[in-house]
A and B are shown apart, each in its own frame.
Chain A
Amino acid sequence: MKLGYTNVKQYKGGLPDWIRRRYPVIRTVNYPKVNIPLMYPEQVLKKIDEVVILDIGGEELKKIGSFTQGDVVHIPLDDLEEKYGVLPKDKQIVIVDVMGKQEEIAGRFLTSKGYKNLAAMAGGGRAWFMAVRINKKVEKEAGAKMSEKKE
């Protein structure tokens, strides 16, 4: 069967469904309730030399694209608790996951560890990869126009 287990089930409703029903939940760490400001990919591109991009998307994000720009640190969210220490505190950190859904909790965790200059990529990795592609296309077209003018 599954890893040898004979009685495996899935609770598809998950945590949101359990909370909705007011069934018992437990919190073992109180991460600060802070709003991590959103940065749009275009804004990140303009500041690309000043920020560190933190990719928490792991294998799932790798499937949809690869980072070709900027200073990028890859730490899947599952490993962030153990590996966050490699992140600098003197630069702005822009957190990226696949769809932007886990950036807030990663930001709250990093805030609890003393990181103050944080941002969350609006739209996550999907939006970032698209913005990079568009930016490259625009730069290429601008380069081509410049060459035409010179000729």
Chain B
Amino acid sequence: MKKSSLILVLAVSLLCGINLSPGPLLAAVIDIPEIDADALKFELYHGAPMVLANALSPIEFKDLTIKGSVNIPSSRVKGNSNLPKDQNELLVFFCKGPG
């Protein structure tokens, strides 16, 4: 897997509470910018096209998710058909939050 691919996969893993070893890749993942709830709500419902990705399992996604989100489980990021076609489009990941 290319380093760039690995960073996105690790970013989702980290967001969802998976423990990673310290190192340069972890540092790259931590650098992924955050978006807060209000800004996300605006972008999602009133902004330009974007993809909001729920990184939980398909079962958890069907049980409850943010309206307008799609499912990209953390183990199935690479090549997922729910990823935006336009690579410049805003792509936001979320899961169950901290703790």
Contacts and interface: CB of A to CB of B under 8 A. Distances in A.
Q: At the interface, is chain A mostly helix, strand, loop or mixed? A: mixed
A13 B40 CA distance: 11
Interface of B: 4-5, 7-8, 11, 15, 18-19, 32-37, 40-41, 52, 54, 56-68, 73-78, 83-84, 87-98
Chain B interface, DSSP helix/strand/loop, else mixed:
mixed
A81 B71 CA distance: 14
A39 interface: no
Contacts of A147: none
Interface stretch (A18-26, A47-55, A86-94, A133-141): A18-26
A16 B92 contact: no
A2 B96 contact: no
9 contacts: A3-B4, A11-B52, A12-B15, A13-B94, A15-B54, A15-B97, A25-B67, A27-B64, A60-B18
A76 interface: yes
A1 interface: yes
Contact of A81 (B4, B58, B88): B58
